[in-house]
Amino acid sequence: MYFCYLDESGTPQLGAQTSHFILLGMAIPAAAWHQKDRRVNVIKARYGLKDAEIHTGYIARRFPEQEHIANFEKMNPTQRRAAMAQERKNSLIKAAALKTGDRLKSLKKQYAKSADYIHLTHAERTKLLQELADEIGSWNDARLFAEAVDKVTMPPGVDIFEKAFEQVVTRFHTFLTKREGERVKRGGSSTGISVDNQGLLIQDNNQTVAKNITALMRKFHHQGTLWAKVDRIIETPLFVDSSLTSMVQMADLCAYATRRFFENGETDLFDRIIGRFDQAGGRIVGIRHYVGGKNCACKVCAAHRGQKKTK
Ligand SMILES: [Zn+2]
């Protein structure tokens, strides 16, 4: 059986800070879960993050307070944490004095979300994300599936989340179907579906997503559309706590890397994982950049165009 961990990056709403919405699934064989979980934990422990959640968006950003602390690099982790706590306390006092509640609120949120990582310099945090991306890139038995939507190119009235969800789930299902076909071709029994090629969706239990998915599931069940077609996927998506589940955190890293590639042209993390997107006959089929009728020169669109031409 395959577990497919779903995560998103950016928001599906128009007019938000992000131009793209990414929905990504990272599928791994259930039998390989222990080994992969262990390897991720080894990397995390090396950075003093044994029990911490890897929240890529917060790890990747600059911590301006760090840059104000003299000789930060030369301190040990305990000293770094103490210096950062002091620096951040001062920033909060300053923000409170301005009496604009918004600034204070956003600082507090930022500090809480990044508290686990303040003992690492920006260079160390970059290295951590690179190591994790390389680790995922080395998982030959894992597959990535993603829909990257350039939001303004989506026709009005279309539910971006729903479209992306349907695309990713369908691609995961296609992968399972292909594997099942190969199994039968190798002489396996063709009655029933092998449990090896069934799939289960696992999703981070954050409020926004849970609400979106629940509404969608209700619709699918009611209309009997998508789930009737994707019979290799069992159950409805299971929700887990991302702070406790390393694999959801790895899907989060992949979704982040994918969004930064399409939005900002950042290739460092994306290139480390691109080889894991599902391929068929040497063609990349696991990811699509949705740009409507627009011409896009990115390598994912170029690869898709190249495929069409050779058909
Ligand atoms: Zn493109």
- Alpha helices (H) in the chain, listed in sequence order: 33-46, 56-60, 64-67, 77-97, 101-114, 122-137, 160-185, 207-223, 226-229, 246-264, 268-273, 299-310
Average pLDDT, the chain: 91
Output the CA 301–ligand 1 centroid distance in Å.
4
Most confident of 95-109, 157-171, 173-187, 247-261: 247-261
Output the CA 237–ligand 1 centroid distance in Å.
29
Mean pLDDT of the 273-280 span: 95
Output the CA 10–ligand 1 centroid distance in Å.
17
Question: For the whole prediction, is pTM greater than 0.85?
Answer: yes
Output the CA 228–ligand 1 centroid distance in Å.
31
pLDDT band for 191, please (50, 70, 90 cuts): confident
pLDDT at 310 over 60: no
Domain boundaries, the chain: 2-53+141-310, 64-117
Residue 307: the pLDDT is: 67
**Contact in structure between 3 and 30 (CB atoms under 8 Å):** yes
**Contact in structure between 262 and 150 (CB atoms under 8 Å):** yes
pLDDT at 306 over 80: no
Residue 251: the pLDDT is: 97
pLDDT at 31 over 60: yes
Output the CA 58–ligand 1 centroid distance in Å.
26
Six token digits for residue 11: 């928001």
Output the CA 232–ligand 1 centroid distance in Å.
30
pLDDT, one tens digit per residue, over 215-243 is: 787 777 777 667 777 888 887 788 888 88
How many whole angstroms separate alpha carbon 271 and alpha carbon 201?
A: 25
Q: Distances in Å between the alpha carbon of 161 and those of 10, 157, 167, 208, 267?
A: 11, 12, 10, 11, 25
CB under 5 Å of ion ligand 1: residues: 289, 296, 298, 301
Residue 309: the pLDDT is: 55
Output the CA 261–ligand 1 centroid distance in Å.
10
Q: Which of 26-30, 50-54, 153-157, 234-238 has the lowest mean pLDDT?
A: 234-238
